[in-house]
Chain A
Amino acid sequence: MDPRPVEQRELEALSRRERQRQLRGTFAGLAEIVVALVIGLFVGALVMDGAGYDWKLAYEGLLIGAFGDQWAIADTLASATPLILTGLVFGLSARAGYFNIGAQGQMIVGALAAVAVGAHVSAPPVMAVTLTFLAAALAGALWALPAALLKATRGVHEVISTIMFNWIAHYTALYMVFNVLNDPRSAERTVRVLPEARLGAIIPGADMTAAIFVAVGVALFMYWLLWHSPWGYEMRIAGLNPSALRYAGASPLWSVNLTFILAGIAAGIAGATQIIGRPPTYALYGDLSNVRNLGFDGIAVALIGRNHPLGIILAAIFIGAMGAGSRMMQIMAGVPLDMVRIVHGTVIIALAAPEVWSLLGKFLSRGRARREAASTAHSKTVQR
């Protein structure tokens, strides 16, 4: 017989059960991802087969294009770099209970700031790069702030305000590209940033630069912040139960501002990575095509990564791999880009669906609770 006291044995059994439950949760999560991936790939194969393309060859191309050699892997990581950051924008905000879809605009503003500083401030290389990233982060944060203030003081829903600020950023950028930061010799883009502000390719022959380390660094910082700091604790409580936060005496105003500012910083840096960390142009194109959709792709990344900074890194690499693999899908299997995008779309939807479902449930139940609270309060007043 076990000589230890009963209490200790019970405790151990409890913690064992708790561990098992956690393990089961992790397995369930992994199984969910695998099942979703299989479903997405299966539907994609059906679509390609129906359109008369060789889906086996296409998926082979996807793999080779994404991970086939050192250049492919580097290109995958290069594509993942901005997505890690824009994924953090949505993921962090969702953890704090906000539906922040302003990554696109904040990223555009970050890219503009990167051009403005990178092209005009001459400094030693490391300093120039740091200054450029800082300027982009600051610009992204400032662009995120109005939405946060409007939310906190006037109750303006962040979905509306961030969408609007996205468009303001878009058209401001068009104006800036053609009139302020324009290159007189090349009207299709802005001036290039100075050589000392550029990050070079780590592996010659591929686009990956040190920007990937910046992106991963920001993600790790966000992870620490969310789960190992009091501010992150407040943010997560705000997301789980805003009234509990108020009850505990913390200020929701501070929480919303902090969330949006941190998200804006990530978005701004994402913009900078595309200007100083992606050869060969080192400038912003007039149709903004080198930052196109990266902010919105970040939403998919965050959903697939379950709004967790480490999950977001993996999800961004996954989406980056799909992007890098798409060229070999075209080259090897002759699948046109539109068809490639349909396949990507089905896979992404399948992977993101569970998280969308749970987020939607959370938002709906919170809305219902608020309405119920309001109606009980109303009926009480009437009774009085």
Chain B
Amino acid sequence: MRKASILLAALLVSLLAVSVGALAQGSLAIVYDVGGRGDLSFNDMAALGGERAVRELGVRLTEVESASTADFLPNLRALARSRQHDVIVGVGFLIQDAMAQVAEEFPNQKFALIDGFVDAPNVMSISFADHEGSALVGALAAITALENGGDTVGIVLGIEIPILLRFEVGYRAGVRWAVDRYNEIHGTNKQVRVLYTYTGAFDDPARGKTAAEAMLGQGATVVYQVAGGTGLGVFEAVESAARGQGKVVGPPFAIGVDSAQDYISPGFIAVSMVKRVDNGVFEAIKRALDGTFQGGAVTLKLAEGGVAASSVEMVELFFDEAVAAGAKTPEEKAVAMAGVRAAREAVPQLAWDLLNELDSLIRSGEYVVPEALDRDTAEYWRSVLSTY
């Protein structure tokens, strides 16, 4: 008994010492979604932001992965109880319930939630203008299909949560804008249909593959994946379909999401809709340290660097991240980057031109991308945008 209490005391002292040390330089904690590290997407992007904070702000980083949704609450509590962290970041919409509860239990602890909303003064709810980024890649997808004699594009999604509806409608809007623009330029009357599937999972590549195969079977030239780990199956389906036709570069193409995923299937991913989750995480800790942290909703838009179409430089950066995660080796980089460049060259020039045109229209506010965060609005836009 005495031994135990001595041990406990020693432990408390060491914890105290650690916490004093941590507060001196700042400390950031990240709770990942069930998909976890190594998804080469959403969670890894958040980690990238954390690593940047370690490098540039000199903070200490504590990371916790969640084995199941039941772990969110105890994970957040364990971090909040330690009182070591200037801000605790929750990655992903599914953490919302747990964060709402913990924010109430620990009113003096600052929290940040990526991709969700908690109405509390100590929670900064960070979201991204996914619809704007999705519109960009939608424009590229539509023109790539038309220039290759196709008339179909696809989008494979995860669970039908509000944020994913926003991706889908944004993508449709981009497709529609580009088709109208194309018809205007060429004096034609073309149409492009959008196939969509909600797979119901963010961590099931097999289901992503099945969904993408069905779309390719119906003539889709480009398939956009918005499904986290499930989306890795989309890349697999597109690459094997192209290779089956003896091609080493698309079409058909896939489009990546969240991080610059182009290198995952080099030659067969045209572009990625990059969601700068890293910027969101970095912003949260930066604001917590410089005293500008405020609860409430913050949307990082296209014009503010919240979302973007991937560039070759970004892909290189994320490749290095994949090397660090052990998913790739440095030797593979030259081959992969050559494939990435080849894919970009195989995408018609007009597609890139219209993507850039739409980008500047959105930035200047001349084109406003419709936003849907519920089923009814999504259904409305589905019918409006596909009626020619």
* Interface residue ranges, A against B (CB under 8 Å): 64-65, 71, 75, 79, 174, 177-178, 184-188, 204-207, 274, 278-281, 285-287, 289-290, 292-293, 323-324, 326-328, 330-331, 334, 336-338, 341
Contact = CB atoms under 8 A, between A and B. Distances in A.
B63 to A, nearest CB: 7
Contact of A187 (B62, B78, B101, B375): B375
Contact of A207 (B29, B64, B73): B73
Contacts of B38: 338
9 contacts: A187-B159, A188-B160, A280-B101, A285-B94, A290-B70, A327-B75, A331-B82, A336-B65, A337-B66
Given A205-B105, A323-B71, 19 more contacts: A71-B81, A178-B200, A186-B161, A207-B70, A274-B70, A278-B70, A279-B101, A280-B100, A286-B160, A287-B201, A289-B94, A330-B63, A330-B65, A331-B64, A336-B37, A336-B65, A337-B36, A337-B65, A341-B67
Contacts of A79: 70
Contacts of A323: 67, 71
Given A188-B161, A205-B105, A334-B63, A281 B78 contact: no
A71 B66 CA distance: 18
B interface bracket (residues with beta carbon within 8 Å of A): 35 or more
Nearest to B75: A327
B171 interface: no
Contacts of B36: 337-338
Nearest to B93: A188
B69 A289 contact: yes
B65 A280 contact: no
Contacts of A64: 11
Contacts of A205: 77, 81, 105
B357 interface: no
Nearest to B201: A287
Among B67, B75, B79, B93, max chain A CB count under 10 A is at B67
B281 to A, nearest CB: 18
Interface in B82-138: 82, 93-94, 97-98, 100-101, 105
Given A280-B100, A287-B202, A71 B34 contact: no
Among A71, A328, A331, max chain B CB count under 10 A is at A331
B203 interface: yes
B159 A289 contact: no
Interface string B161-204: 11000000000000000000000000000000000001011110
B39 to A, nearest CB: 12
B68 interface: yes
Nearest to A285: B69
Interface of B: 11, 29, 34, 36-38, 62-71, 73-75, 77-79, 81-82, 93-94, 97-98, 100-101, 105, 159-162, 198, 200-203, 374-375
Contacts of B34: 287, 289
Given A287-B200, A290-B68, A279 B94 contact: no
A185 B161 CA distance: 9
Contacts of B71: 323, 327
A56 B127 CA distance: 39
Contacts of A287: 34, 159, 200-203
B73 A279 contact: yes
A80 B68 CA distance: 14
Nearest to B79: A331
A207 B74 CA distance: 8
A41 to B, nearest CB: 18
A174 B79 CA distance: 32
B73 A188 contact: no
A341 B78 CA distance: 19
Contacts of A328: 78
Contacts of A281: 69, 97-98
Contact of B159 (A65, A188, A206, A338): A188
B200 A286 contact: yes
B200 A174 contact: yes
B98 A280 contact: yes
A326 B69 CA distance: 15
Contacts of A185: 374
